Each structure stands twice: as C-alpha cells, then as structure tokens.
Amino acid sequence: MVKNEEPKSIVQFAMEWGVYMGLYFVVKFVFEVCSMDSFFCNAVSLLMLLCIPVVVYYAMRKYDVMSGTKAYFAQLWMMGIMLFFFTSLISSLAQYIYYVYINPEYIKIQFQSAVELMEALNLMAKDPSLLDAMKEGLEKGNVPTPMSVVVERMWVNLFFGSLLSAAIAWLVKLRAKSNHTKQ
C-alpha cells in the first residue's frame, strides 16, 4: 500500500532543514572556537563556512524537486530566509551556552585580541581615538554581553543568509528551467 503524503509546506521544510543546518553551524562554531589553538580547526571551520552555499543549494533543490519544480523564485528565497532563521535559533543557543557557562572570558579575550591586532598593524595611526576608546572600554570592563553578541550573530546570519538565499534560489530556478527545456 502506497502512502499518499502531501508535500511539506515551506515552513515545515525550513524547520526540518534548519535543525540539520543549525547542528552544522554548531559544529562549525566548535571548530571556530578551537581555531585559536589549532590550524587544523581553523582550516575545517573555513571549509565548513565555504560549504554553506552548497548545503543551501542542496536544500533548495530538494524542496524544488519535492514540489515538482513548481516552486517560484520568491518561495525558494523565503524558504532560504526561514532556513537561516531556524538555523540561527539553534546555533545561537549553543553560542550562548558557550559564552555564559563554558568560557565566560571568550568575548573579552576576542576583544583584547582585536585591540592588539589593530595596534600591531598600526591601523589607527591617523585617528587613534577609536583604539583609545576600545582600550578604555576594556579597562573599565565594557565588553559586549553574551546576549548582545548572540543576537548580533543571529542578525548577521539572517541578513547574509537572505542575500545568499536570493542568489541560490535564482540558480536553482535557472537550473530547473534549463533541465525543463532539455526534456
């Protein structure tokens, strides 16, 4: 007996794939955190970052095929935006746990490293006021809170995920159109 299952809605599909991609982002974050001490982890984190468009393309292509290649560009783009939204929810939870419970000094250390790098590269030679303000903030303990860093990363993921989704949705529809004309 064959089951007649209805295709998943865009939201259901994005939620399901958001879990998978969220776990992918968590693993990428672990390698990102470990990359401070290991070149291998840095290389893996970079490779995982570069593979994100491939993962998004695969998810969009799968949704397009599931819908019988009848999904419009706007539907695929919206699916991509929701995919990055659900991905960000999962990865943000892991990041928050890390920043608050596992390594509470991580954000401060990153901030200090940025100041040291700017000093070493002499980036603020013409106008050192920003560097001085950052140093003063560090001395006073004015470092971004874990929640503010997590929310900022969520917005960055969502913004760039939206841009990436638009480009990939266009590629998926372009490929679907070329495959349709060949048949």
Q: 54-64 burial, b for 16+ CB within 10 Å, e for fewer?
A: ebbbebbbebb
> Where does residue 3 rank: exposed (0-12), middle (13-18), buried (19+ CB within 10 A)?
exposed
**pLDDT tens-digit map of 54-91:** 999 999 999 998 888 788 999 999 999 999 999 999 99
| Residue 26 placed within a domain | yes
Res 1: pLDDT: 47
Q: Which domain holds residue 84?
A: 10-182
| Residue 5 placed within a domain | no
| Residue 86 placed within a domain | yes
| Residue 21 placed within a domain | yes
**pLDDT tens-digit map of 120-178:** 888 777 778 888 888 888 888 888 999 999 999 999 999 999 999 999 999 999 887 77
Q: Which of 182, 177, 168, 173 is nearest to 17 (CA)?
A: 168
| Residue 92 placed within a domain | yes
Give the tokens for residue 78: 């919206």
pLDDT-derived band at 15 (thresholds 50, 70, 90) equals very high
Q: Which of 164, 157, 47 is nearest to 93 (CA)?
A: 157
| Residue 22 placed within a domain | yes
Res 102: pLDDT: 96
| Residue 3 placed within a domain | no
Rounded CA gap, 175 and 84, in Å?
A: 22
Task: Say how many domains are in the chain.
Answer: 1
pLDDT mean over 84-105:
97
Res 101: pLDDT: 97
DSSP code of 5?
P
What is the rounded (10 degree) CA torsion for 131, 109, 94, 87? Answer: 30
**pLDDT tens-digit map of 19-51:** 999 999 999 999 999 998 899 999 999 999 999
Compare 26 and 1 and report the one with higher pLDDT: 26
Helix, strand or coil for residue 176? helix
